[in-house]
Amino acid sequence: MASVSEILKELEVELGTKVLNISRIEGGVIVSIEPSALPRASLILVSKGARHRMMVASDDREWLGRFSLYYIFGIDREGQNIVIHLPLDPDNPVAPSVVDIVRAVDWYELEAKDLMGIEFEGRYPVPRLIMPDTWPEGVYPLRKDVSVEELRRLSEPWISERIKLEEVEEIVRIPIGPYHPALHEPEYFELYVRGEKVVGARYVGFMVHRGIEKLAERMKYDQVPFIAERICGICGFVHSTSYCQAAEAALGIEVPERAEFIRSIMLEVERIHSHLLWVGVALHLLGYDTGFMHVWRIRERIMRVAEMLSGSRKTYGLNVLGGVRRDFDRDRLEKAVREAEEIGKEFAELVKISIDVPQVRARLRGTGILSPGEARAFAVVGPTARGSGIDIDVRKDFPYAAYKRIKPRVPVYSEGDNLARTLVRVDEVFESIELLKHLADQIPSGSIRAELPPSFEPYRIGIGAVEAPRGEVIHMVITGRYTPYRWRVRAPTYQNLIAVPTMLRGVELADAALTIASIDPCFSCTDRAIVIDLRRGSVERIPLRKIVSRWRP
């Protein structure tokens, strides 16, 4: 992998006058180039080992009189970002597609078309990714001239049509979800099978797209962490932390060291309960419900630790701009560490009688394979990447919070199958318990929140990244004076889901549910699939739980 300085030098030499400007931000550089130079710039970055992390589309017409695209590439060994910035025509925003060079940008281009109205030349016909097919042409929700009120108004005609279809005089709208306690999150997979083997798959998502980025444009900086923490119902703290880090980097706010340790402690508590949840679900999908119940019994103990430290089992409400809202009591912190150690011992015993048994390993080994080359092409993150031999972890590659002082051990397996991804998570549970002990032992004294200025400098860019249980969460903030001008969120599932159809290809239908679950997806999901038998030409809608039950040992 080349260094940042080497890559910048080559970009300047190869692109010449098409490099418009180079400026520094915290944690990297922004290179503004002419749109036509994007394919060549992308090829240079990929060939030099840069990893694509995120792409952001922004309506900068109020700021710079144009639209912008920001392609964020990480130089992992230096913990630095190279951000390629494309200024686009305000009246006809068009950019070249680079999906053939950087496979991982596929969804980003589709999303920028749906939500911002940016066209991409040179790619196959662009289907809608987020907006429904019935959405009116020319209305792009994330443009600044489209209001929240207008978006609400556009939904009203569909309610009237629904009334006519139901042949009733009145329908009362009762919103159910996305937080309904009895529902799974909506997912939709089409599995194409020959006999009992999957030969292809397609995923359709974004059924509960909530417009959080749009809502934040009306919120004060310290209100955003509360909505950020509700992006994910399991690992919300990673999002509020990542948002805060992005805003703090953009605004030059220095967070007190004690607050950074408190954030890291809660992130590791969240990692433990998330991984335990996933291991339990995996055992359930394998038909081993006794193991599922025992894992969740153990998980209950770490949920109580979270409540003991923060006052809440989930959505802790700790993060604010510049630090945290509440301090930790020393006695409770020591008690939390003792409890975590007991959890580790109990979980180790359970691993011996569940994951290590031959029947379970036989179902996990050799299924859902994602090769290292495919993992790199899709730019997958977290246990999905580490299970395919890719040694990446934001905590060590782009250190933040207390990880600047305490480095985690990162488990990596090279097989790329469901077993490898399972073992990564099992190992990380034990490593997180060790990290909790070190963090509690080394937590410094001092304040927990920095003083904030009365107003903020607008149009500054900050990037925040956190290693969530599922992988790298990355947020980008462009500042306004009192509210975020643009806030972009990229959850790890967004990056990992692109690879699932590849992982499903060639697996037995009985192993499809576990393969989908192996990325630990958070897509607000309904356990429903369409199975299309190419031999018989039949189409059958089957709940995933029924697929699992049919082939249980």
Q: Please tell me the predicted confidence (pLDDT) of residue 80.
A: 96
Residue 381's closest CA among 396, 371, 394? 394
What's the CA angle centered on 78, arms 74 and 83, to 5 degrees? 30
Residue 16 has pLDDT above 90, yes or no: yes
* CB-based burial, 323-354: b 16+ in 10 Å, e otherwise: bbbeebeeeebeebbebbeebbeebeebbeeb
What's the half-sphere exposure (Cβ side, CA atoms, 13 Å) at 65? 0
Torsion of CA 77, 265, 53, 186, to 10 degrees: 150
For 496-508, the pLDDT digits (tens) are: 989 999 999 999 8
Q: In the chain, what is the straight-line distance between the N-terminal and C-terminal CA atoms, in Å? A: 46
C-alpha torsion 288→411→231→248, nearest 10: 160
Q: How far apart are CA 140 and CA 492, in angstroms?
A: 25
Tally of helices (H runs) and strands (E runs) in the chain: 20, 16
> What are the residue ranges spanned by the domains of the chain?
4-121, 188-208+497-550, 212-495
pLDDT in tens, 214-258: 888 889 999 999 999 988 888 899 999 999 999 999 999 999 999
Choose among 368, 418, 420, 385: nearest CA to 201. Answer: 368
DSSP secondary structure letters along 71-83: EEEEETTTTEEEE
Tell me 190's DSSP state. E
Instruction: Give the predicted TM-score (pTM) of the model.
Output: 0.89
Long-range pairs of 58-67 with CB within 8 A, sequence gap ≥ 24: 58/116, 58/478, 58/486, 58/488, 59/116, 59/142, 59/143, 59/144, 59/486, 60/478, 61/90, 61/144, 62/144, 62/485, 63/458, 63/459, 63/478, 63/485, 65/90, 66/90, 66/93, 67/93, 67/116, 67/118
The H-assigned helical ranges of 117-147 are: none
Same fold, 4-121 and 212-495: no
pLDDT band at 360 (very low <50, low <70, confident <90, very high): confident
Could you read off the pLDDT of 512-530 as tens digits, one per residue?
A: 889 988 998 875 433 344 5
Q: Which of 26-30, 78-82, 174-178, 533-537 has the lowest mean pLDDT?
A: 174-178
Per-residue model confidence (pLDDT) at position 124: 79
Region 212-495: CATH code? 1.10.645.10
CA-CA-CA-CA dihedral for 327, 329, 334, 337, to nearest 10: -40
- Mean pLDDT value across residues 83-96: 97
Average pLDDT score over the chain: 87
Q: What is the pLDDT of residue 532?
A: 53
Burial category of 197 from C-beta neighbours within 10 Å (exposed 0-12, middle 13-18, buried 19 and up): exposed
Which tokens is 198 given?
């999957």
Does residue 548 surpass a pLDDT of 70? no
Q: Element (H or E) spanning 486, and its range?
A: strand 484-490
- For the domain bounded by 4-121, which CATH number is listed? 3.30.460.80
| Assigned token pair, 5 | 């300085």
How far is the CA of 321 from the CAs of 328, 451, 453, in angstroms? 18, 9, 11
Q: 78-87, 456-465, 541-550 — which is least confidently predicted?
A: 541-550
- Look at residues 84, 80, 103, 68 and name the one whose alpha carbon lies nearest to residue 15: 84
Best CA proximity match to 239, nearest among 319, 173, 353: 319
**pLDDT tens digits, 104-148:** 999 999 999 999 999 999 987 777 888 877 788 899 999 999 887
